[in-house]
C-alpha cells in the first residue's frame, strides 16, 4: 500500500461529530507516534523527505493543505481539507506539504518512533533507494 485516501466514519448528531481513530481498524498500522503541525505559513513548504520504514497517516483536522507524493515513477497531489479523511503514505514515498491555510492543523499518525536514520532527505538518494525497493 503506497498512498491512498482513507475516509473515517463520523458519529454525528445535533451536538456535533466525533471520529475515533483505531490502529488496525481505520488506521492500517500500530500507532507509535502522534504529532501535529500548526502555524505554518502559506508560502512555506514542509516535508521534502521519504522514509525507508515509516508509514504515516496525515489528517488535516482544521483548515487545509496540499500534499504531493512521489513514488519515484509518478507524482500525485492531494488537498487535505476534511477532518474525516486521512492520507496514508507508505514506505519509500517522497512527500511535500504546502499551501497551508492560516488555520491548518495537520495531525500525523506514525507506525514507529522518531529515528533520524530512517529519513531520506536528498531527492537524489531517494531516487536511488526507491529503485532498489521496487525491484525487491
Question: 9 and 91 in contact (C-beta within 8 Å)?
Answer: no
At residue 133, φ and ψ (nearest 5 deg) are -60, -45
Task: Tell me if residue 51 is catalytic.
Answer: no
Which member of 33, 49, 82, 91 is catalytic? 49
Instruction: Name the nearest CA neighbour of 100 among 49, 41, 52.
Output: 41
125/129 Cα distance (integer angstroms): 6
Question: 1 and 69 in contact (C-beta within 8 Å)?
Answer: no
Residues with a known catalytic role: 49
Amino acid at each position: 500500500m503506497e498512498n491512498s485516501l482513507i475516509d473515517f466514519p463520523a458519529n454525528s448528531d445535533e451536538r456535533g461529530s466525533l471520529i475515533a481513530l483505531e490502529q488496525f481498524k481505520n488506521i492500517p498500522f500500530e500507532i507509535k507516534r502522534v504529532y501535529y503541525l500548526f502555524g505554518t505559513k502559506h508560502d512555506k513548504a514542509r516535508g521534502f523527505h521519504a522514509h525507508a520504514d515509516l508509514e504515516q497517516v496525515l489528517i488535516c483536522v482544521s483548515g487545509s493543505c496540499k500534499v504531493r507524493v512521489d513514488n519515484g515513477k509518478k507524482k500525485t497531489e492531494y488537498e487535505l481539507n476534511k477532518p474525516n479523511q486521512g492520507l496514508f503514505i507508505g514506505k519509500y514515498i517522497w512527500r511535500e506539504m504546502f499551501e497551508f491555510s492560516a488555520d491548518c492543523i495537520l495531525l500525523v499518525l506514525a507506525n514507529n518512533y522518531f529515528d533520524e536514520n530512517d529519513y531520506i532527505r536528498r531527492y537524489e538518494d531517494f531516487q536511488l533507494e526507491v529503485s532498489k525497493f521496487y525491484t525487491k
